[in-house]
Structure 1
Amino acid sequence: MATIFTRIIDGELPGRFVWRDERCVGFLSINPLREGHTLVVPIEEVDHWIDLDDDLAAHLLLVAKRIAAVQQQVFQPVKVGLMIAGLEVPHVHLHVVPIDGVHDLDFANADPAPDPAALDSAAERLREGLGTTHLG
């Protein structure tokens, strides 16, 4: 059975994409910790990040780094945090989150009902900064 992320990648479920290439995608979290919270997800379903092949792991990190650079510019946080937890969905995903402190990475602070217009705006700003406006 396909994971929820595969269903988003395949277009069965909606997603606010900011990145797509032949190996991975980046889309906004539906329960963001902070504005611009993006998930970088391999197209291939791999449950645990330690099972990624080295080339794919490196690619995911480079994409996360590129997205983080744009988040830093657009949202101007103190830093951009990167987290791999992997407990919620059995499909590797990197959380790339603009943060002002470590407390901003606490999932207890996730927004359970974010404003769709705010999510759309954040996605558009990221796509513009990444040069991926065609994904919108």
Structure 2
Amino acid sequence: MASIFTKIIKREIPAEIIAEDENFISFLDIMPLVKGHVLVVPKKEVDYIFNMEPEDLAGLHLFAQKVAKAMDKTIKCTRIGVAVIGLEVPHVHIHLVPLRTMDDINFTRPKLKLTSEELADIADMIRGGF
């Protein structure tokens, strides 16, 4: 069964896509820790990050770096935090989280509930950083 991320990749469900190439895609988390929380995902469905082929793992991180740099240009924050949890969705993904404090990347916190308009505005802003 395809993961929710595969459904986004195939455009079966909507998402605010930030960047995409032939191997990777990034989009806003719909239940973010903070505004601007982005997920970076390989298009190839793999459940566990350390099961990825070395070149795919390296490519994922290089793609994430491009996205993080665009975020850094456009979101007011101290740094872009990186997390790989791997328990919520059985498809490899990297969380890029704008940080102002350490608590911004605390996954036990309640998630934000943003409107589709807020998500679209944030996505437009980040895309402007490329």
Q: The TM-score by the shorter chain falls in which range? A: over 0.9
**Higher helix proportion (structure 1 or 2):** 1
Q: Distance in 2 between matches of 1:50 and 1:12?
A: 27
Under a length normalisation based on structure 1, what TM-score does the superposition of the two structures give? 0.90
Q: Give the letter aligned to residue 123 of structure 2.
A: A
How far apart are the structure 1 equivalents of 2:112 and 2:95? 16
Indicate conservation of the 8 Å contact 1:31/1:110, yes or no: no
How many angstroms does 1:108 deviate by?
2.7
Given residue 12 of structure 1, which amino acid in structure 2 is its aligned partner? E
SS in 1 for 2:56: helix
Instruction: Determine if contact 2:24/2:40 at 8 Å carries over to the other structure.
Output: yes
Gaps of 5+ in 1: 131-136
Q: Which amino acid aligns with 2:52?
A: L
1:114 corresponds in structure 2 to 114
Cα distance change of structure 1 residues 125 and 112 upon mapping to structure 2, 3 Å threshold = closer
Kindly indicate whether the alpha-carbon contact (under 8 Å) linking 1:38 and 1:97 is maintained by their aligned counterparts in 2: yes
TM-score (norm 2): 0.94
Structure 2 Cα separation of the partners of residues 35 and 110 of structure 1: 13
Q: Give the aligned partner of residue 54 of structure 2.
A: 54
CA shift for structure 1 position 111: 2.7
Segment drifting more, 84-93 vs 55-64: 55-64
Q: 1:108 is matched by which residue type in structure 2?
A: T
Deviation readout 1:22-42 (Å, 9 max, x if unpaired): 101000001011111110000
Whichever residue aligns with residue 4 of structure 2, its letter is: I
Partner of 2:34: 34
Cα displacement (A) at 1:115: 2.2
Q: Do the aligned residues in 1 keep the contact of 2:19 with 2:127 (CA within 8 Å)?
A: yes
Identity of aligned pairs, percent?
A: 37
